[in-house]
Structure 1
Amino acid sequence: MNILALSYDYLPSFLKACFLYMGAFPKDYEIPVSRLIWLWIAEGFVLPVRSKGLEDVANDYLEDLVNRNLILVGKRRLNGRIKSCRIHDLLRDLCMIEAQNENFLHVIERYAQAFLMGAVAPRRISLLHANILHFKMHPMPLTRSFLLYDMHKNLPDMFLLEVMDRLDFKLLRVLDIELLRSNHFPIEIVELIHLRYLALAINCELPGSIFKLQKLQTLIIDHIWQGQYLPREIWMMPQLRHIRLKRGCYFPRPYSRGIKEKSQLVLQNLQTLSTLTGPVSCSKEVFACLPALKKLEIFATVSDSQAEQTSEFLSNLACLHQLETLKCSFLYGPRNHRLPSGDHFPANLKKLTLSGSFLPWEDMAKLAALPKLEVLKLRSFAFEGYVWRAVEGGFFQLKLLLVENSDQMSWNADASHFPSLQQLVLRDCHRLTEIPQGIGDITTLQTIEVQDCSFCIVRSARKIHQQQQMLGNDELGIRIITTSGDSHSASPLHFLSGTKLAS
Structure 2
Amino acid sequence: MAETAALYALQELCNFVVEEGCRHIVENGTLLAGFKKDFIDIKDDLESIQAFLKDADTKAAADGGGGRANEVVKTWVKQVRDVSLCIEDVVDEYEYSKYVAQWIDHSRIIAFLQPLPALIKTKYTEYQIASKIKDIKESLGKIKERMTTLLFQSESESGSYRGTKAPRIDNTRMASLFIEETQVVGIESPRDELISYLVSGTSDLMLISVVGMGGLGKTTLAKYVFNNQYVKEHFDCHYFFTISQSYTLRKMLIDMVNKFCVDNNEPIPKSLWKMDNNTLITHVRQHLQSKRYLLLFDDVWKEAFPDEIKHALISNNKGSRIIMTTRKMNIVEYFKKSVSVHVHELQPLTPDKAWELFCNKAFRGQCPIELEEMSNEIVQKCGGLPLAIVAIGGLLSTKAKTMSEWRKASQNLRMELEHNVHLTSLTKILSLSYDDLPHHLKSCMLYFGIYPEDYTINRKRLTRQWMAEGFVMNEETKSLEEVAEEYLTELVQRSLVQVSRVGFDGKVKSCQVNDLLHQVIIRKMKDLSFCHLMHKYDEQHMVVITRRISIASIPNNDLRNTSNSGIRAIFVFDRDEFPKQFIDGLSAKFKLLKVLDFQNSLLNYIPDNLGNLFLLRYLNLSHTKVTVLPKSIGNLVNLETLDLRQTKVHELPIEINKLTKLRLLPAYYRDYEGHYNIFNFTTGVKMQEGIGCLKSLQKLYFLEADHGALGLIRELKMLTQLRKLGIRCVQQQYGNALCDAIQEMKNLEPLNITVKDENEILDLDFISTPPPNLRVLNLKGGLTRLPDWIPNLQYLVKLRLGLSNFNDDPLDSLKNLTSLFRLNLWDDAFSGERLHFQRGGFPKLKELELTRLNRLSSISIDEDALVNLEHFRFKNNPQLKVVPEDLQNLKNLQFLGFAEMPVELVDSIDPEKGGVYHQIINHIPLVRIRQNVGSRRIPTQINV
Q: Same fold (TM over 0.5)?
A: yes
Show the 5 A alignment for 1:183-194.
184-194=605-615
Q: Which residue of 1 aligns with 2:471?
A: 45
Q: Which residue of 1 aligns with 2:667?
A: 245
Looking at structure 2, the residues matched to 432 and 164 of structure 1 have their Cα atoms a distance apart, in angstroms, of: 57
Cα–Cα, structure 1 residues 59 and 224, in superposed 2: closer, same or farther, change >3 Å? closer
Q: Which residue of 2 aligns with 1:216?
A: 639
Looking at structure 1, the residues matched to 442 and 837 of structure 2 have their Cα atoms a distance apart, in angstroms, of: 51
Task: State the number of aligned residues.
Answer: 459
Show the 5 A alignment for 1:356-371.
357-360=781-784, 362-363=785-786, 365-371=788-794
Give the letter for the 1:447 counterpart: E
* Residue 799 (structure 2) pairs with residue 391 (structure 1): no
Cα–Cα, structure 1 residues 19 and 337, in superposed 2: closer, same or farther, change >3 Å? closer
Q: Which residue of 1 aligns with 2:572?
A: 148
Q: Which residue of 1 aligns with 2:728?
A: 299
From 160, 164, 179, the counterpart of 2:586: 164
C-alpha contact (below 8 Å) 2:861/2:889 kept by paired residues? no
Cα–Cα, structure 1 residues 457 and 442, in superposed 2: closer, same or farther, change >3 Å? farther
Q: Which residue of 1 aligns with 2:872?
A: 449
Looking at structure 2, the residues matched to 179 and 423 of structure 1 have their Cα atoms a distance apart, in angstroms, of: 31
Residue 36 of structure 1 deviates from its aligned partner by 1.1
Give the letter for the 1:126 counterpart: S
Q: Which residue of 1 aligns with 2:763?
A: 338
Cα–Cα, structure 1 residues 239 and 411, in superposed 2: closer, same or farther, change >3 Å? same
Q: Which residue of 2 aligns with 1:274?
A: 701
Looking at structure 2, the residues matched to 148 and 120 of structure 1 have their Cα atoms a distance apart, in angstroms, of: 20
Residue 14 of structure 1 deviates from its aligned partner by 1.4
Q: Which stretch of structure 1 is more off in the superposition, 1-10 or 222-231? A: 222-231
Q: Which residue of 1 aligns with 2:451?
A: 25
CA RMSD of aligned residues (A): 3.3
Give the letter for the 2:871 counterpart: I
Looking at structure 1, the residues matched to 722 and 534 of structure 2 have their Cα atoms a distance apart, in angstroms, of: 37
CA deviations 1:185-231 (Å, max 9, x no partner) are: 32332222221111235332431x33332222111236864631332
Looking at structure 2, the residues matched to 293 and 132 of structure 1 have their Cα atoms a distance apart, in angstroms, of: 41
Cα–Cα, structure 1 residues 315 and 371, in superposed 2: closer, same or farther, change >3 Å? farther
Q: Compute the TM-score of the two structures, normalised by the length of structure 2.
A: 0.45
C-alpha contact (below 8 Å) 1:465/1:478 kept by paired residues? no
Looking at structure 1, the residues matched to 747 and 798 of structure 2 have their Cα atoms a distance apart, in angstroms, of: 17
Residue 389 of structure 1 deviates from its aligned partner by 3.9
Higher-RCO chain (CA-CA 8 Å, sequence separation at least 6):
1
Looking at structure 1, the residues matched to 923 and 552 of structure 2 have their Cα atoms a distance apart, in angstroms, of: 41
From 432, 435, 452, the counterpart of 1:6: 432
Looking at structure 1, the residues matched to 765 and 534 of structure 2 have their Cα atoms a distance apart, in angstroms, of: 53
| Rg larger for | 2
Looking at structure 2, the residues matched to 55 and 224 of structure 1 have their Cα atoms a distance apart, in angstroms, of: 24
Looking at structure 1, the residues matched to 856 and 463 of structure 2 have their Cα atoms a distance apart, in angstroms, of: 41
CA deviations 1:27-60 (Å, max 9, x no partner) are: 3332221111110101111122232221111111
Q: Which residue of 2 aligns with 1:254?
A: 690
Cα–Cα, structure 1 residues 373 and 100, in superposed 2: closer, same or farther, change >3 Å? same
Give the letter for the 1:33 counterpart: R
Residue 176 of structure 1 deviates from its aligned partner by 1.1
C-alpha contact (below 8 Å) 2:714/2:737 kept by paired residues? no
List runs of 5+ in structure 2 lacking aligned partners.
Answer: 1-425, 670-683, 902-909, 911-920, 927-944
Q: Compute the TM-score of the two structures, normalised by the length of structure 1.
A: 0.80
From 104, 107, 112, the counterpart of 2:533: 107
List runs of 5+ in structure 1 lacking aligned partners.
Answer: 256-264, 470-474, 494-503
**Does the residue aligned with 1:441 lie in a helix, a strand or coil?**
coil
Q: Which stretch of structure 1 is more off in the superposition, 433-442 or 210-219? A: 433-442
Residue 310 of structure 1 deviates from its aligned partner by 5.5
Residue 107 of structure 1 deviates from its aligned partner by 2.2
Query: How many percent of aligned residue pairs carry the same amino acid?
Result: 27
Q: Which residue of 1 aligns with 2:775?
A: 350
C-alpha contact (below 8 Å) 2:627/2:650 kept by paired residues? no
Looking at structure 2, the residues matched to 395 and 67 of structure 1 have their Cα atoms a distance apart, in angstroms, of: 32
Looking at structure 1, the residues matched to 881 and 475 of structure 2 have their Cα atoms a distance apart, in angstroms, of: 50
From 897, 900, 904, the counterpart of 1:480: 897
Looking at structure 2, the residues matched to 109 and 397 of structure 1 have their Cα atoms a distance apart, in angstroms, of: 46
